[in-house]
């Protein structure tokens, strides 16, 4: 038997974030469907998808929904309005009332934005488990991704996840929305690297045409290869493909089980590098394997809870 880990040295506790569905809080019909969906997390949006005159209605809708709905395993994230917005105070009061799993800050460009919300959460005596997610969606946000990520160490340790926002980044840079995202890849990798340097998860941007599943699958495959943990989604049809693409592949699971078993063998006690069938395997590979098997365990536990 291999040992399942959900805590890792350089990362926050392991969470499934393969499929992160965003839902406008003003859309009551969309809110009502969430409990029947197999997404790992839900971003309840109070920002871009809600018109200024609808902000109060969206907050009331969300309050009513979350006070009654049982979201079970689904991580609950509320995207608030910008830290300099006139809507921020009301958004934060809603956070205090609902205590979601995380608050998502839009258009983060500097560590001060993270720190200001972290300070407010501390003053509001918010539970330590309430995390901060940050949208990186502007040129300044990309350029400052490393300093923003490092702020997670000082902002009461609340910073947990980066989410890429490519629509705003495309608008600001003039890069067209073309297949393959080739001119955006350097920016994507820069944010992934910053996130990993400071133990954060990182979620890829939305794919705007939810009818083009081939393009969506290609973006998921690209994002997985670049090291993203999952993808932000705009439609329920994208959930299954995202779960499949960002989930453990059978061959990788078998390999992980083999690696963990080899390092658990008493013959290899105290070794950091071992020879397995002519292949040199380091202990760091065992740590990666344990994280993968931890993901498998979380998925299996979810399946059991749904029976």
Q: Which residues are annotated as a binding site for substrate?
A: 79, 137
Asked if residues 137 and 144 have their Cβ atoms less than 8 Å apart, the reply is no
Q: Which residues are annotated as a binding site for Mg(2+)?
A: 137, 168
Write the DSSP string, the chain: -PPP-S-BTTBSSP---SEEEEEETT-HHHHHHGGG---SEEEEESSTTS-GGGHHHHHHHHHHHHHH---TT-EEEEE---TTSTTHHHHHHHHHHH--SEEEESS--SHHHHHHHHHHHHHTT--TT-EEEEEE-SHHHHHTHHHHHHGGGTSTT-EEEEEE-HHHHHHHHT----TT-TTTHHHHHHHHHHHHHTT-EEEEPP-S-TT-HHHHHHHHHHHHHHT-SEEEESSGGGHHHHHHHHSPPHHHHHHHHHHHHHHHSGGGTT-SEEEETTEEEEHHHHHHHHHHHHHHHHHHHHHHHH-
Q: Which residues are annotated as a binding site?
A: 79, 137, 168
């Amino acid at each position: 038997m291999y040992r399942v880990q959900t805590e890792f040295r350089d990362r926050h506790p392991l969470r499934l974030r393969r499929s992160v569905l965003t839902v406008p809080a003003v859309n009551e019909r969309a809110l009502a469907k969430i409990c029947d969906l197999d997404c790992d997390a839900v971003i309840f949006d109070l920002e871009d998808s809600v018109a200024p005159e609808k902000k109060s209605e969206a907050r009331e809708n969300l309050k009513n929904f979350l006070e009654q709905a049982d979201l079970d395993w689904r991580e609950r994230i509320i995207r608030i309005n910008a830290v300099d917005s006139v809507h921020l105070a009301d958004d934060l009061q809603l956070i205090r009332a609902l205590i979601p799993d995380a608050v998502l800050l839009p258009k983060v460009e500097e560590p001060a934005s993270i720190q200001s919300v972290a300070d407010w959460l501390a003053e509001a005596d918010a539970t330590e488990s309430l995390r901060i997610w940050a949208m990186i969606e502007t040129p300044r946000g990309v350029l400052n991704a490393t300093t923003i990520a490092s702020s997670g160490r000082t902002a009461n340790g609340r910073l947990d996840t980066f989410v890429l926002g490519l629509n705003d980044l495309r608008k600001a840079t003039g890069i067209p929305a073309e297949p393959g995202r080739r001119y955006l890849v350097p920016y994507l990798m820069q944010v992934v690297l910053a996130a990993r340097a400071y133990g954060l998860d990182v979620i890829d941007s939305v794919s705007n045409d939810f009818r083009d599943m081939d393009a969506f699958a290609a973006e998921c495959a690209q994002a997985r290869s670049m090291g993203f943990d999952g993808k932000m989604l705009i439609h329920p049809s994208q959930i299954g493909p995202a779960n499949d693409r960002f989930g453990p592949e059978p061959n990788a699971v078998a390999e992980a089980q083999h690696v963990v078993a080899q390092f658990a063998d008493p013959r290899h006690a105290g070794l950091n590098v071992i020879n397995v069938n002519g292949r040199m395997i380091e202990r760091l590979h065992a740590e990666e394997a344990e994280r993968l098997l931890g993901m498998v365990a979380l998925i299996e536990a979810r399946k059991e809870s749904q029976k």
